[in-house]
Amino acid sequence: MPTKPKRIKIWAKSLPFFGVHLAALMVLIVPFAWKWVALCLGLYLLRMFAITAGYHRYFSHRTFRTSRPFQFILGLLGVLALQKGPLWWAAHHRHHHLHSDDPEDRHSPRQDGFWWSHLGWILSPIYDETELDKVPDLARYPELRWLNRWHVVPGVLLAVVLFFAGGMPALVWGFFLSTVLTWHATFAINSLTHVFGRRRYETTDDSRNSLILALITLGEGWHNNHHYYMASTRQGFFWWEIDISYYILRALSWCGIVWDLREPPRRVVAGEKAPGEATEVVSHLEAA
């Protein structure tokens, strides 16, 4: 396992990341209009859904099934969030669940503190490679390998389209600010839901539930539920636990776009999970 350097020279590699943050501050000087706010929010929600439903619940855990074309669409929407490719994301997330909050976890606030778990690890070059051995079920699709290799291109094209469609306001609001918001909402699940919130279930890690983060991330804030039974498509186990990504996936299932959404058994919801039950990182479902 590679070591986790705390003062690694990653500044040159990180310049685009910090550059996007600086560019997002241009919202203070470009013309304001509510349509730009709507554009920012719309692209935030679209890309957040692609991360939580696509990268996380589908590619990382295979908690539902879909067609090969829609599988590619989920991957394409995911790379628009500029969080690297679907194979890279899924491989690292599967590793996280195998080692959650133990010394081998790559982004544990327990082991390495807030800033490393929030963004340091993803900026570090020691985790740049995609570990294909952790995602053999996904790596067999050449179109996903292509998307994983060229993951930056669709995001850059999105920025270009926004600029030519709406000028600097569209670029700043729709791309730069929306991207920064999507980044930090996603990163907060790694850093904050292992520190703040409530623990309904006993797990081997520090995972916690947070309503606020569930609302911001379309359902990912029910993190203790997820770590207790990661095979479930639905992460808000109770009716009052709002899980917008699950609602959208359920609606898509009514249209036949996705199917076989996995639910947590009643005994699991009641906290009576059998030892070892649903501890697999990936379900046994296969994409059609």
Q: Give Cα separations from 192 to 104, 139, 197 (angstroms).
A: 19, 31, 8
CB atoms within 10 A of CB 165: 11
In a domain, 25, yes or no: yes
pLDDT at 278: 61
Q: Give Cα separations from 7 to 11, 92, 107, 126, 232 (angstroms).
A: 10, 22, 16, 13, 38
pLDDT at 153 over 80: yes
pLDDT at 168 over 50: yes
In a domain, 255, yes or no: yes
In a domain, 274, yes or no: no
Q: How confident is the model at residue 1 (pLDDT cuts 50, 70, 90)?
A: very low
pLDDT at 4 over 60: no
pLDDT higher at 126 or 90: 90
- The number of folded domains in the chain is 1
pLDDT at 135 over 50: yes
- Phi first, then psi: give them for residue 243, nearest 5 degrees: -140, 85
Mean pLDDT, the chain, whole residue set: 91
What is the pLDDT averaged over residues 81-106? 94
Question: How many residues make up the chain in this entry?
Answer: 288
Reported as a single tens digit per residue, the pLDDT across 97-132 is: 999 999 888 889 988 899 999 988 988 888 999 999
pLDDT at 275 over 90: no
In a domain, 8, yes or no: no
pLDDT at 7 over 50: no
Closest Cα to residue 80, out of 155, 15, 1? 155
In a domain, 7, yes or no: no
pLDDT at 284 over 50: no
Reported as a single tens digit per residue, the pLDDT across 8-41 is: 556 667 889 999 999 999 999 999 999 999 999 9
Its domain, for residue 111, covers 14-269
pLDDT higher at 254 or 204: 254
In a domain, 204, yes or no: yes
What is the pLDDT averaged over residues 75-98? 96
pLDDT at 192: 95
In a domain, 275, yes or no: no
pLDDT at 9: 58
pTM over 0.85, yes/no: yes
pLDDT at 13: 77
pLDDT at 97: 93
What is the pLDDT averaged over residues 265-286? 71
- Of all residues in the chain, the percent with pLDDT exceeding 90 is 80
In a domain, 187, yes or no: yes
